[in-house]
Chain A
Amino acid sequence: MNNYDAIVIGAGHNGLTNAAFLAKAGLRVLVVERNAYIGGATVSRELHEGWQYSSCSYVCSLFRPEIYNALDLGRHGLKIIPLVSSMTFKQDGDYFGSYSQPNIRRRELMRHSLRDADAVVRFDADVLRWCKLIRGFLLRTPPDPGSFRPRDLFEFAYLLKKYYELSESQLYEFIRFFTMSIAEYLENYFENDTVLAHYSGGSIIGTGLGVYSPGTAYVLLHHAMGDVDGNIGSWGFARGGMGAVADALASSFQAHGGEIRTDADVRRIMVAGNKATGVELASGEIITAKTVVSNLDAKRTFLQIMDEADLPPQLVHRAKHFKIRGSSGKLNIALDGMPEFPALPHGSPLTLGHMHFTDTLHRLEKAYDDWKDDRWSADPYCDALVPSQYDPSLAPPGKHMMSVFVQYCPVNPEGGWTDAKREQFGQTVIDQIADYSPNFKDLLLHVEVRTPREIEEETGLTEGNIFQGELTFDQLLFNRPFPGYAQYRGPVKGMYMCGSSTHPGGGVMGAPGANAAREILRDLRRPDTTPQEFSDD
């Protein structure tokens, strides 16, 4: 039978999360996935024999523990192991490490600046305060501030109440935090160049913004507000690679009776009488359902798989102007052994965590300048990790897998992308790492280079934007993806959005998928299977 209660388009982590909660409520749910495999950008792939690449997203911290718990993902095989460190190599041969062991962390800061070692206490408390505030909204549907429905009024009052739980000076600081650049925000705390560069890097990952662009301070939160078992701001590796997240979600979904069809490319969402009626696949096959949920980004959803004639023209206009800029690249590397980093003393634990190679704010801003001119950064910001040091399932014995996230990489370099240009981009990254690791180039067995073009081709993310839309204030909360459409409902009855284009945005969080499920179940008058947020108080 080709009829379901609900069809979810796209087997990314949010699509699967959404589908799992719908199935848990007793609906007959089908997930359709264009690729031959599930996961979207939350995927592990064997692109070189013997190596498992987390080929898109590569670390995990934002995934909501409430969802993990409600969908029983631990019993479905998911393990997230906390990362212990991050570090930045300096051009002068030294390095700065951020260790999780508090005494070592403090002494390392003292080694670079006595003052910064003290200031980090204030920095941690302030960032934790904003994280706590934002985390309270992750698993809630944003209120429509123009609506007078009791539920919207209640949610808006909740938002204001949380906000006014801050003290007067904290209120001011919060507004500043939301609107400042990360560089200027950090300069309120730190003086050392390397410390500043190290802590600001996370705020440009995935964004078409530079360290001095207003709004980037907030992005810090998107990388700091996750937690692994109560360690707020810490990152984790999913055992088996990021595909383990999708696999556990799929397993939970299937345990609730859900079905997944891969190699099923949706050509369009069918609409009749302003109601969604199902989907038509590229093969011409039609599958019907009264509820159709899109995990695709807002641009792709409304401009590619819906007939514009079915949509309000203002919505089409909004979708066309949705800010979703590609700015990131990725290298997945099979290594013949562990690279040496002579700057690190023998036995340093810092190769176990994030490794960066940009030691000043100036270099970070220059990297952004290149991107604005449609060039990849000649001196890019890289986030390199070798997770095979933790997880032997990712590479053969004695060999290693390295994942390098690269900021910035343009969507459309002059003359467009060619395979040759892509390899040149990859070489820029390899050269930068080799500056700090003399044997790095000798260890390369296979290098897969992804520009926004490749990321979009594989995952469908418009321009390869990892967040499904920029995380700027104009596209957050009740404005995400567009004003009037922040409550996961599309413009036609029975059509919903559940991807990172919706509140609370990108990162492997699962929250948009869960929030959308809550709204769908509400419309269908089904019991709510989605979890309430855990409280920090």
Chain B
Amino acid sequence: MSIPNDHFRQAIQHTPFHARLAALTQTEEWTVWNGCMAPRVLDKLSTEYFAVRSSCSVMDMSPMEKYRITGADAYRFLDRLLTRDLSALRPGRVTYVVWCNDEGKLIDDGTLFQFGDGDYRLCSQHHQFDWLMTSAMGFDVNIEVETHDVAALAVQGPTSYSVLTEAGIAGLEDLRPFGIANLSCQDFPVVVSRTGYTGDLGYEVWVSPENALPLWDAIFSVKSRYDVHAIGLSTLEMVRIEAGFIMPGFDFNTAESTVRANFDRSPYEVGLGWVVNLDKGQFTGRKALVAESKRPAKRRLTKITIEGNKPVGEAFIYNKKGGKLVGEIKCAVWSPILKANIALADIEYIGGALPKKLWARLDYQRELKWMSAWAECRPTNKPFYSPDHRSATPPSRL
């Protein structure tokens, strides 16, 4: 990528889909995602939300950091970098991964795509090139930043299979969750993965930037038959909490950006112990994680349902009304499909166990007046929302 020396004239970049988003937006509510203009909401949040849950949503995910990792040692390098056992990963498959520093603290999470032998793409939330290059010492591996060389749309929702098929992408019927397929849309190639951040049936469609707008137009050409709806990051925030997905840098502080001691988090502490395999052999952070796994748990990022319907923002959590402070809510949302307040909360364990009772102290406004209320919270281990149609193969034609 070549950056001109007068790039300062444009502080925020446009993605390859920007022209379509700019034409669609009725709110002009933009934010910045990895240096790119990204919509928060395009028309109405509730409409966009229900596109994900009842029809088909389209989100521009081009700003996502993407690294192409190739070479004879690519597998060995990734196996050393990532906490997860990769031995079952095959070409044409995707897996969710996290990685840590030497102290077993989370640097970031992401998805690992295997295209072929020794050919991978790692997508991450934060900038990882420096860490990947540092970790690559001693491995015959080539790492390239391809963030801006690949455009991508997340097409998610119960009708997403039908929409993509109608849009001219044939061959999706056999694609299982976490599968990758090399297909074409009309006359240009696309890579489709059955992945997403919504917890619903959905696909991510990867395309070279010059085919971005044709892809968009193909998908939206079926809008007269299907409710295809562009969505922004505010909707994504709602549905990813419902799906129980965490966001590094928001739900916990990533290790490299952490200033204060112990403000960073291990995979165990954010409930990602299931992606740590201590038996797979050496990997970065293993020694610290082995030690941590033998100690009583100090804290966990916990999924909680908060009783009642009071708006939940940032809030402290106590072990009883007016009791001991045991945690705080990191992200919360009123779930329209569950009609419940759901949240991820960083909870300090007492004696190695989750406190028996959890009460949130909610501060909220009614007509600009601040009010305060206690609400009991119930922990859960499962995703808040995970419909059956999410994983059916072939997906039902709706």
Judge if B11 is at the interface, Cβ distance under 8 Å: yes
Whole-angstrom distance between the Cβ of A369 and the nearest chain B Cβ: 32
Binds B, one of A73-81, A124-132, A394-402, A460-468: A124-132
**How many Å lie between the Cα of A347 and that of B126 in the bound state?**
31
Chain A interface helix/strand/loop/mixed = helix
Instruction: Report the bound CA distance from A118 to B133 in whole Å.
Output: 11
A166 at the interface (CB under 8 A from B): yes
Minimal beta-carbon separation of A161 from chain B (angstroms): 12
Comparing B2-10, B205-213, B292-300, B315-323, the segment that makes contact with chain A is B2-10
Bound-state CA distance A106–B103 (Å) is 27
Q: Please determine whether B8 and A104 come into contact, CB atoms closer than 8 angstroms.
A: yes
B259 lies within 8 A of A118 (CB)? no
Which residues of chain A from 16 to 46 have a CB within 8 Å of any chain B CB? none
B5 CB contacts on chain A under 8 angstroms: 94-95, 111, 345
B6–A345 CB distance below 8 A: yes
Q: Are B3 and A128 in contact (CB under 8 A)?
A: no
Question: Is A349 positioned at the interface, with any CB of B under 8 Å from its CB?
Answer: yes
CB of B259 within 8 A of CB of A132, answer yes
For residue A110, CB closer than 8 A to chain B, the reply is: yes
Across the interface, A118 reaches (CB within 8 A) one of B1, B11, B128, namely: B128
Tell me which residues across on chain A come within 8 A of B261, comparing CB atoms.
Answer: 165-167, 170
Contacts of B260 in A (CB 8 A): 129, 132, 165, 537
Task: Evaluate contact between A125 and B258: CB separation under 8 angstroms.
Answer: yes
* Chain A: CB-nearest residue to B105: A167
How many residues belonging to B are interface residues under a CB distance threshold of 8 Å? 28
Instruction: Answer yes or no: B117 CB below 8 A from chain A CBs.
Output: no
Q: Is the CB of A121 within 8 A of B8?
A: no
Q: Which residues of B contact A107 (CB under 8 A)?
A: 3, 7, 35
Q: How far is the CB of A218 from chain B (nearest CB, A)?
A: 18
Complex: chain A residue closest to B65, CB-CB: A118
> In the complex, what distance in Å separates the CA atom of A483 from the CA atom of B242?
61
B residues within 8 A CB of A121? Answer: 126-127, 256-257
Query: How many angstroms between the C-alpha atoms of A94 and B2 in the bound complex?
Result: 14
Which residues of B sit under 8 angstroms from A348, Cβ to Cβ? Answer: 6, 8
The chain A residue sitting closest to B258, CB to CB, is: A125
CB of A86 to closest CB in B, whole Å: 14
Scoring A95, A348, A349 by chain B CB atoms within 10 A of each residue's CB, the highest score goes to A348
A103-B126 Cα distance, complex, nearest whole Å: 14
Q: Which chain B residues numbered 246 to 277 have a C-beta less than 8 Å away from chain A?
A: 256-262
> If A101-B11, A104-B8, A345-B6 touch, does A125 touch B129 (CB 8 Å cutoff)?
no
Across the interface, which residues of B come within 8 angstroms of A117, CB to CB?
A: 127, 129
Knowing A121-B256, A167-B262, A170-B261, say if A103 contacts B6 (CB, 8 Å): no
A108 touches B127 (CB 8 A): no
Beta-carbon contact of B145 and A114 below 8 Å: yes
The reply to whether the CB of A122 lies closer than 8 angstroms to some CB of chain B is: yes
Most buried by A among B35, B128, B262: B35
A111: chain B residues at CB < 8 Å are 3, 5, 7
Known: A108-B7, A110-B3. A103 touches B131 (CB 8 A): no
Q: Please, how many angstroms separate the alpha-carbon atoms of A108 and B5 in the complex?
A: 8
Q: Is the CB of A106 within 8 A of B258?
A: no
Question: Would B256 and A125 count as touching, CB distance under 8 A?
Answer: yes
Please report the number of residue pairs spanning A and B whose Cβ atoms sit closer than 8 angstroms: 74
CB contacts (< 8 Å) of A124 on chain B: these are 257
Q: Is B259 within 8 A of A108, CB to CB?
A: no
Can you list, as one digit per residue, whether each of B1-44 has a CB less than 8 Å from chain A (1) or not (0)? 10101111101110000000000000000001001000000000
Interface of B is mostly: loop
Tell me which of A104, A169, A170, A347 contacts B7 (CB under 8 A): A104
A381 at the interface (CB under 8 A from B): no
Flag A332-374 by CB within 8 Å of B: 1 or 0 each. Answer: 0000000000000101110000000000000000000000000
Question: Any chain A CB within 8 A of the CB of B367?
Answer: no
- Contact at B12–A103, with CB atoms within 8 Å? yes
User: Which residues in A have their C-beta under 8 angstroms from that of B187?
Assistant: none
A97→B8 CA distance, assembly (Å): 10
Which of B7, B32, B133 is most buried by chain A, counting CB atoms within 10 A of its CB? B7
Check: B130 CB closer than 8 A to any chain A CB: yes
A345 to chain B, nearest CB (A): 4
- Tell me how far the C-beta of B390 lies from the nearest C-beta in chain A, rounded to whole angstroms: 34
A322 contacts the other chain (CB 8 A): no
User: In angstroms, how far is the closest chain A Cβ from the Cβ of B269?
Assistant: 15
Interface flag for A115 (CB, 8 Å): yes
Contact A104–B130 (Cβ < 8 Å): no
A511–B212 alpha-carbon span in the complex (Å): 58
Minimum CB distance partner of A345 in chain B: B6
**B102 closest partner in A (C-beta):** A169
List, in ascending order, chain A residues with CB within 8 A of B128's CB: 118
Q: Which of B87-135 contact A (CB under 8 A)?
A: 103, 126-131, 133
Q: What 1/0 mask marks residues of chain A from 160 to 184 whose CB sits below 8 Å from any chain B CB? A: 0000011101100000000000000
Mask for B49-73, Cβ within 8 A of A = 1, else 0?
0000000000000000000000000
A95 to B8, CA, bound (A): 13
Cα–Cα, bound, A101→B9 (Å): 11
Could you say which residues of chain A place their CB within 8 Å of the CB of B35? Answer: 103, 106-107
What residues of chain A lie closer than 8 Å to B133, measured between beta carbons? Answer: 115
Chain A residue at minimum C-beta to C-beta distance from B5? A345
Taking the closest CB of chain B, its distance from the CB of A164, in whole angstroms, is 9
Report whether B129 and A115 are in contact in the complex, using a CB–CB cutoff of 8 Å.
yes
Residues from chain B with a CB closer than 8 A to the CB of A122 are 130, 256-257
Interface residue ranges of B281-333 to A (CB < 8 Å): none
Is A99 positioned at the interface, with any CB of B under 8 Å from its CB? yes
For residue A119, CB closer than 8 A to chain B, the reply is yes
B12 to chain A: which residues have CB within 8 Å?
Answer: 103
Query: Nearest Cβ in chain B — how far from A498, in angstroms?
Result: 32
Within the complex, the shortest CB–CB distance from B154 to chain A, in Å, comes to: 23
Complex-state Cα separation, A125 to B258, whole angstroms = 6
User: Would you call B262 and A118 a contact (CB within 8 A)?
Assistant: no
Q: Which residue of A lies closest to B264 (CB)?
A: A167
The answer, among B8, B103, B257, for a CB contact under 8 Å with A125, is B257
- Of the residues B103, B130, B259, contact of A128 by C-beta under 8 Å: B259
A114 and B7 contact, CB distance less than 8 A: no
B253 to chain A, nearest CB (A): 10
On chain B, the residues within 8 Å of A104 by CB distance are 7-8, 11
CB-defined contacts of A349 to chain B, threshold 8 Å: 8
A56-111 interface (Cβ within 8 A of B): 94-95, 97, 99, 101, 103-104, 106-108, 110-111
Contacts of B127 in A (CB 8 A): 117-118, 121
Nearest-CB distance from B135 to chain A (Å)? 12
Bound-state Cα–Cα, A138 to B35, Å: 36
Cα–Cα, bound, A108→B3 (Å): 8
User: How many Å from the CB of A194 to the closest CB on chain B?
Assistant: 13
Distance in Å from the Cβ of B190 to the closest Cβ of chain A?
27
Known A114-B145, A122-B130: A108·B8 in contact at CB below 8 Å: yes
Q: A107-B35, A165-B261, A537-B260 are in contact. List 4 more A-B contacts (CB 8 A).
A: A103-B35, A104-B8, A121-B127, A122-B130
Write the residues of chain A forming the contact surface with B, with a CB cutoff of 8 angstroms.
94-95, 97, 99, 101, 103-104, 106-108, 110-111, 114-119, 121-122, 124-125, 128-129, 132, 165-167, 169-170, 345, 347-349, 537
8 contacts across the A-B interface (CB closer than 8 A): A106-B35, A108-B7, A121-B126, A122-B130, A167-B103, A170-B261, A345-B9, A349-B8
Q: Give the top 8 A-B pairs by smallest Cβ distance, nearest first.
A: A118-B130, A345-B6, A167-B261, A118-B127, A111-B3, A119-B130, A129-B259, A122-B256
Interface residues of B (CB under 8 A from A): 1, 3, 5-9, 11-13, 32, 35, 103, 126-131, 133, 145, 256-262
